[in-house]
Chain A
């Protein structure tokens, strides 16, 4: 029982990431009709926004310490962060410690800008082209973006820690009457889950309760009619591309302490997120979120030793297996609508 509870908890944070990426993907598909294979790269860029802010906060000047030697036997150059000397050791170090949450504010304008440039500069030229062309160009763009990141940040994963206050794990088991250490869950993953719940709710609320969201939803249902009413739906859809980019970016920012950012992390998530979108139903926002959590939890269950003992290697194929079963029984996915990608 405790093992099942543990894997449900584990699946939540992975599911949160899948849901956030898939939400953006399906938002772009639903509004602009573009299959955006560069969406994983936006998640990766978001994570690197956290890395960048951490690096900026750690910018240092060097002080020569005559008492210590470097590897060549010369006096050691010790790095002193500017923040520490400007704001004092306490506040300066606290700022550095909180670089990931603060990166949310840093990432939003950057991600919106990246999304705007990506949409206006490249993707808009492919709206009327077949989906295969869109996939090729966005996939190529994803490779270009990850190579740019690799050029500046290297190929190794870069540690981007959560604030000290979130280090360690919560003993859930004790709260529910299990043995100590039976069900533990890191604090930061809990924060991530709550953050994604707020973000997903925010996107839904934006689409549901604002006039802008209402127009976008109307546009998603019938673009031509909305256009005939004199509304510039293209402009709104471009803004939605920026919103989707920001959602993917924020998912990446907060994921940085869970998975040390590396240049190919976007590609790792992209494939799974596409499966999530397809399972959830192309163009369905609630479907993407539901499928994200469902597949994240199933993936965690498949990693259990007891399950792997029965079906070896199941942890690596479970998502695809479930996708096949769902698509065979419900070809439009869990919440897919008639007519989407069926022309």
Chain B
């Protein structure tokens, strides 16, 4: 005889009830954590992955300054900068969705493996919801791939290769910076006006993704205005001495040298081309000219007076006179005592655009952020009316054609704006052959978790 009050039916009922009870929080949790690094506290962390060591460290430092400023403005500190001129008014200076923004930084070292390692650490250890920054297309493509796999948003910094939003485009990756095709499209008419349509161009090209796509873009656009391409020569990145590549240029019959180099390589190749006296020569009855399709302020300052009169292009420049630019330059200049570079600008804008997209979408879920950014039209961020195209996550806006200033008054105005090329002139279909053609695809958004 037993006095126990347990019955088989009772045990089953109790187990079922307990099981449901135990399962309940899991159901809620899984609904709340439908994406990687869902911020649960009163703060949200974002990651700035920029070169802090290596040859682009100065550019990385300028990006960090701008990103820090963007976080301050989003959190309601300082004068608000471009938040005052941004066409979207979703951000109110109280952080993002009421959460105060904090940031961590990583060092890309301008190396793909190091950049991926620092991004991975920020995602896994610091639990960031977004990665922003960088100064190299090779790095941007590598980190973009990682963010796609991890299920967080990547807001690219300075990356100019067509591939970033071309054949290597990703649903979780977004680029505000312009690209090599746009440089070619903007520069060609200006070059035709300045140097005529009967020219023979010789290209020296950095041997990696950015160099290749810039060369392809410039060859196409200059041949479109009637120029002949004499030769295209790939040079190792970081070669230092380019004399053996420059020496044969004159004897090739070329009368224009296009330097598809960036950073220190551009400073050295341009300086050495000038030392070889190329710009003093007359070839084919014309003055020999040099073109540097992609400029940055830091490069221009490094190249010194060698850059005088040399044409190039930029995404943005502090000398623009629109309201957004004035607000940003004032805010940045008062804090750091110098005008911002165009890579600083793009990182600042990308941070604001991310915060705005989260706020408008009402969630940190990368798929919601992606939806809010896709085909988003905005203004007031220094580039005029801008479209974040949904098909490839590339921003479309006016492009600046620049020229080395003849009489700079200080180290910051070594470049002058020659023309603001309208957006319509640099647009292209998302399945353009230089951008991966019909096969290029964003894939699907990955929320991770």
Contacts and interface: CB of A to CB of B under 8 A. Distances in A.
Given A71-B318, A258-B272, A258-B275, A303 B245 contact: yes
B54 interface: yes
A149 interface: no
Given A150-B57, A181-B250, 8 more contacts: A3-B251, A68-B409, A72-B333, A156-B267, A159-B306, A161-B304, A168-B280, A186-B275
Interface stretch (B119-127, B208-216, B235-243, B357-365): B235-243
Given A154-B58, A156-B58, A167 B264 contact: no
A71 B267 contact: no
Nearest to A159: B304
B410 to A, nearest CB: 7
A71 B410 CA distance: 10
B238 A268 contact: yes
Nearest to B288: A181
A273 interface: no
Given A14-B243, A181-B250, A258-B275, A159 B303 contact: yes
A315 B248 contact: no
A303 B283 CA distance: 23
A36 interface: no
Contact of A262 (B233, B264, B333): B264
Contact of A259 (B241, B248, B280, B301): B241
A13 interface: yes
A224 interface: no
Given A71-B412, A155-B57, A159-B302, A189 B233 contact: no
A6 B54 contact: no
B268 interface: yes
B329 interface: yes
Nearest to B245: A303
A158 B251 CA distance: 30
B281 interface: yes
B33 interface: no
B441 interface: no
A169 B245 contact: no
A181 B283 contact: yes
A72 B276 contact: no
Contacts of A3: 248, 251
Max chain B Cβ within 10 angstroms of own Cβ: one of A7, A72, A157, A167:
A157
B422 interface: no
B421 to A, nearest CB: 23
B337 to A, nearest CB: 9
Contacts of A157: 264, 267-268, 302
Contact of B243 (A10, A68, A78, A315): A10
Nearest to B299: A156
B334 interface: yes
B119 to A, nearest CB: 21
Interface size class for chain A? 35 or more
Contacts of B275: 162, 167-169, 186, 188-189, 257-258
Nearest to B51: A155
B56 A155 contact: yes
Nearest to A3: B248
Contacts of B268: 157, 259-260
B36 to A, nearest CB: 33
26 contacts: A7-B244, A14-B241, A70-B410, A71-B329, A72-B334, A78-B409, A155-B58, A156-B298, A156-B302, A159-B303, A159-B304, A161-B304, A167-B277, A168-B280, A182-B251, A183-B251, A186-B275, A189-B243, A257-B275, A259-B241, A259-B268, A260-B264, A260-B268, A262-B55, A308-B233, A315-B244
Contacts of A68: 409
B271 interface: yes
Contact of A268 (B240, B248, B298): B240
B87 interface: no
A148 interface: no
Contacts of B231: 305
Contacts, number: 125
A327 to B, nearest CB: 24
Interface string A184-215: 10101100000000000000000000000000
B109 to A, nearest CB: 11
A268 B240 CA distance: 8
Contact of A181 (B56, B281, B298, B330): B281
Contacts of A169: 275-277
A3 B252 CA distance: 10
Contacts of A85: none
A3 B57 CA distance: 38
B236 A315 contact: yes
Interface in B241-299: 241, 243-245, 247-248, 250-251, 264, 267-268, 271-272, 274-277, 280-281, 283, 298
Contacts of B339: 71
Interface in A144-185: 150, 154-159, 161-162, 167-169, 179, 181-184
A163 to B, nearest CB: 13
A181 B251 contact: yes
A99 interface: no
A70 B334 CA distance: 12
Interface in B291-349: 298, 301-304, 306, 318-319, 329-330, 333-334, 339
B243 A260 contact: no
Contacts of B276: 169, 184, 186
A39 interface: no
A11 B267 CA distance: 21
Nearest to A305: B233
Contact of A159 (B55, B236, B243, B267): B267
A265 interface: yes
Contacts of A156: 55, 58, 264, 267, 298, 301-302
Contacts of B303: 159
A259 B240 contact: yes
Contacts of A10: 243-244, 247
Contacts of B247: 6-7, 9-10, 184
B57 A304 contact: no
Contact of A305 (B55, B248, B318): B248
A225 interface: no
Q: Which 6 A-B pairs have the closest CB atoms?
A: A303-B244, A155-B57, A169-B277, A159-B304, A181-B250, A168-B277
A294 B11 CA distance: 90
B244 A299 contact: yes
A79 B409 CA distance: 9
A10 B275 CA distance: 13
B250 A184 contact: yes
A299 B243 CA distance: 11
